[in-house]
Amino acid sequence: MSGRPPRAAQTPTPSGSGGSRAGRSPSPGPSPTCLSPSSPAPKGPGSGLCSEWAAWRRARWRVLALTGVAGIGRTTLLAALAHDGSLRRHFRDGILWLEGAGEDRLKKAACRVGLKGSPGGRQEEWARWAGDPSRRLLVVIDDVPPR
């Protein structure tokens, strides 16, 4: 292990797409509970990097991928960020923490946020709900195996 922080790969939003919800009615649909690891803010290799969140947030990233070798502290960093008050306020529609990869991950996520319907319909409803451009939702997909 090199001791370096996890490397981040970002996809910035197009200029002006951050948008405000002022003047818009809230989008229908459930608001997920914070489903991050159930513990107080963790201490560990990644927990000291929370100050980096301020810089990442100013950049208005739509997608942020943390990569690195096992044990470097990616999960610890994200769990610490999920407990940060300013991050919770920024992602006002909730924080959804999904464990692992798999074909049924989307179905499980839809169930966790309360979407109803047939499995196929649930995915379509989830896509509409999560795809609302005014929604501020942090989705963490943890423990995704490398390809």
One-letter identity of residue 11: T
| Tally of domains in the chain | 1
Averaged over 2-18, what is the pLDDT? 37
pLDDT interval class at 34 (50, 70, 90): very low
89-92: list long-range contacts, CB under 8 Å, 24+ apart: 90/57, 90/136, 91/136, 91/137, 91/138, 92/136
Averaged over 94-98, what is the pLDDT? 82
Query: Has residue 69 been placed in a domain?
Result: yes
DSSP state letter for 31: -
**Mean pLDDT rounded to a whole number for the chain:** 63
**Reported pTM:** 0.52
pLDDT at position 30 = 42
Query: Has residue 72 been placed in a domain?
Result: yes
Query: Has residue 15 been placed in a domain?
Result: no
Q: Which two tokens stand for residue 50?
A: 């929370």
Query: Has residue 4 been placed in a domain?
Result: no
Which residue range is the domain that position 91 belongs to? 29-142
Question: Residue 28, exposed/middle/buried by CB under 10 A (0-12, 13-18, 19+)?
Answer: exposed
Query: Has residue 10 been placed in a domain?
Result: no
In this predicted model, what pLDDT tens digit does every residue of 55-89 receive, in sequence order? 666 666 677 778 888 888 888 888 888 888 888 88
pLDDT interval class at 54 (50, 70, 90): low
